[in-house]
Structures are given as structure tokens and as C-alpha cells.
Amino acid sequence: MSPLAGVRVIEMGMWLAGPSAGGVLADWGAEVVKLEMPTGDPMRSLYSALSGSKESRCPPFDLHNRGKRSISIDVNHADGRALAQRLAGTADVFLSNMRPQFLRRAGLDPESLLALHPRLVYGLLTGYGLTGPDKDAPGFDMAAFSARSGLSHRATPPGGVPPTFPGGMGDIVTAVTLVAGILGALLERGRAGRGQLVSTSLF
């Protein structure tokens, strides 16, 4: 039996870091339902945007969203927000890498969902953490993980040029860290009967 068989995950993420965490959970047997805005995850069209191709598939999107089902919900409207909140109530885990201010506006922030669904495990991946001046800033792999953390500087030889790390390296490392936090929170819920917020950041 898959270790996460019977675990339901509602994922509201885009690009790479959040969806990558959802992909790992799906690999281990969780049922992962991806919520997308009507325009879709922008990662879907990355390949055609970069290459000028008319190809509708994007291999990196397919890789990090493997094993999931996807539905479109417009959480900018009250009916969509209410539906997303109800779906969260059917889940064991709500997973997101959307900016905290967006989640607050949509009523899908940790405080709102945990008040409605106390057994929910809420996994949140941000650019720069939940406190401080950049808590609502967008975070990208090369900037938040590689540059601002000092990783690029430490990997640069004296007088040399900063290295170019593989694309998405920080996203995937951070995603696996969040998966570990989610698994720990599910274990704790089995003991204590309550969910909680677990969070990490690219930075």
C-alpha cells in the first residue's frame, strides 16, 4: 500500500515550488486536487512562451503536476471563494505557494481555513517567510534561494563569476522540505487530533 493512501490534498499553487511538493505527495499515494484560476497555472504555457512553439504541452508542468487532478475555480468571486473553502474542508492537507496577501484576500489563508477546519494540515511555501518587510513579496528560485540567501556568493571563487545553478534547484529543495513538514504535521494530528500550519520559504 502507498504510504499516503487515503490522504486528500487540495493544492493551490503555481509555477514550481508548491506544485513540486504536491507531486511528491501524489507519488506517495495521496489524492491531490489542484485548484487553478480560470487562466490556469502560468507554468502550463512556459514552453510555448519561451520557444515560440505552438506546442500546448509543457514538460516541466507535466513533471511537477504528475498524478494530480485539476479543477478551475475563480476565487476572486464570492462563489469561487466559498467553493474553495468547502473543498478545503474535504481535505487532510491544504498546500499553497501563493503569496500570503492573495490567500488572505481569497479567504484561504491559514488563519481562515484552520478556524473553519481545525483538523486541516496547512502547508505554506513562501518567498521570504511569514514575517518581515518581504513577507508578501514574490520569491523566485534564483533570487530568493540562490542570491539573497548568499548561496551564489559562497559558490563563487574569489574574483570569479557567480555560477548558474540548475533551474528550479531551490524550488525542489524547498518543496521537499515542506513535504517533510506536512508529514510531521499529519503524524502529530494522528496523536493530538488537530491540524496546524507548517511553513518554509525559498529564502
Q: Which residues are catalytic?
A: 171
**What element of type H or E holds 65?**
none
Nearest CA among 94, 74, 118, 121 for reference residue 10: 94
Rounded Cα–Cα distance for residues 123 and 127 (Å): 14
Torsion angle defined by CA atoms of residues 18, 23, 28 and 32, in that order, rounded to the nearest 10 degrees: 80
Nearest CA among 85, 75, 91 for reference residue 30: 91
Rounded Cα–Cα distance for residues 188 and 45 (Å): 39
In the structure grid, which three cell numbers stand for residue 194, read together? 488537530
Could you report how far apart the first and last alpha carbons of the chain are, in Å?
Answer: 36
In the structure grid, which three cell numbers stand for residue 95, read together? 498546500
Contact assessment for residue 46 and residue 58, using Cβ atoms and an 8 Å cutoff: yes
